[in-house]
Structure 1
Amino acid sequence: MQYRPFGRTGWKASEIGFGAWGIGGDAWGQQDDQVALAALHTAIDQGVNFIDTADVYGDGHSEQLIAQILKERKDDLFVATKLGRRLNPHVASGYNNRQNLKGFVERSLRNLNVEALDLVQLHCPPSEVYAMTEVFSLLDELQQQGKIRHYGVSVEKVEEALRAIQYPNVKSVQIIFNMFRLKPAEQFFAEARKREVGIIVRVPLASGLLTGKFGAQSQFASSDHRNYNRHGEAFDQGETFSGVDYEEGLQAVDELRALVPGGMTMAQFALRWTLMFPEVSTVIAGARNPQQARDNASVSELPPLSDATMKRVQEIYDQRFRTSIHPRW
């Protein structure tokens, strides 16, 4: 496993992190807790030291599973969680409330069974929040009280990321970045590097589409967001298949498949592509079983992709997705 600086925190984060949405037991179909714990142990055995979760993943169940790992392992691990999506309704004004933010943080402290949260991220709040300086002042207070060590944001749009890093204590940005979503590399990464902001890449496999394992007849469980959120019915459409049309995505995968080097799976190729960008601190690939965790972690040791391959990925994006995806996120 290779490690990269995580912004200005002083951390060295594993290039491949562990995305813990899937093990929460919601939005991805049913999940066996023992298999989930085995996946986490396997990832850590492979050198993964960065775990990303949220207070709404399984209504806190993901955090509670991670707490078991923290109790059992002596490894130096960094756990990032997120807050805000428990607001009902999920509106900007809810973030400008000391009791709300303090309550969310204290609940995550209990779920994770820790004295301080390593990293707290605003969980894709409404765009108006990024103009509310008082919200970031409240996060400063929580940091001064010792409840959180660092804070950052998880965003839907590049424009939100650029606004967020204007706040001096925002240490990280979590953003969707994959071969179907190139705008961050073009319009955000350079500014993040300039300000020494850590970048957490989420949805690197476009909700599994970039594994190359799906087809036109693939079926998803009723409790799986890939079934019920394709058009943004439950949350932002961009979180499901990166917002691309499913059939169009399948066609693009067929083109990308020809670029996969020998010895790599399609999924490993997609993950290795994200690591070609030095501004990326860590890529939080989801793993719901030990084999997926091993496959993901092994990407850190794979050789770089060729310039020709990178150019061709860009061409496929430009031809298929720039018009439909680039303006939206």
Structure 2
Amino acid sequence: MYLGEDPKRVGQGYDDHPSTHYSWNSRVPNSATVAVGDTIVLWDGKTLLGLSVIEDIKTGTGTADVSSCPKCGKADIAERKTMTPKYRCWTESCKFEFDNRHVATVDVTTYRSQHEAGWIDLRGQVTAPELRALCEQPKSQNALRRLRWDDFRTRVETGKNATSLNIVDKARKVITGGHSERMVRVRKGQAVFRASLLDSFGEVCAFTGPMPAAVLDAAHLYSYAAKQEHAESGGLLLRKDVHRLFDLGQIAIDPTTFTLDVTAETRAYPVYDKLHGQPLTVALDKKHQKWVREHWAMHRAQNQATIPGQNTGTQTTLTV
């Protein structure tokens, strides 16, 4: 589990958006150890923003300006807001204080996570001092820091504004379950598939009713990653938020009644609680019904099984 800082770094060559993606480079400690399936926690240096599970990491090449101590040459320096001189070297054998840092441009490997599907907004629920204390190395100034997952989870799930993180378990299980279960991914030919669904159903979300086309996604009723094709009668139009929950199995269609089944943790939110037990707003043919049964077997069978222990060995990162 990693904590990462997101202090609106667009002007520094980043285009981060906490709920969808985060960027870093090979100059950052822990840069190469972050992996698909890891939990990433984002903060802005003052408070918690939210967390998710990494679905994909894209790599590339680029350059970065690296500041270093003019005495020892190490990059372990920090800017001081109120004290002078302006900078201090944190290298144990140096501790030099100075006003003018050395800056060099170097080649780097770039990384960008994609973590939109399982995002949980937790803005303001945990303060910066608490987050730092929950790091494996509380005094670290690194942009990517290892978090103690069990302690962090306990803090979020108990006390004031307690929020269940069960969706993280589900997201990780789907994402790390293998290629055949990667239901959240870029789909080849998605635009054509969506157009065919609009022709068939009109501008109607199958769960919530008529909606503007701009908020409707083409949702597969099966794992596209496993089949690599857009199957006939294999999709429905869903509003973007319920599509995400459907992909993660937080909402499913009961194949015996063709009503919506919403998990207990998701029903804690009134907007989704009212969907539980409701019929679909569109008619399904027999091929749709086949795919619905497959989705139900995949997600509800998993829900009935015991999810592996909370501490699975996956990493959690705090990103600022």
TM-score (norm 1): 0.25
- Say which structure is richer in strand: 2
Flag the structure with larger Rg: 2
Give the helix-richer structure, 1 or 2. 1
Per the normalisation by structure 2, the TM-score is 0.26
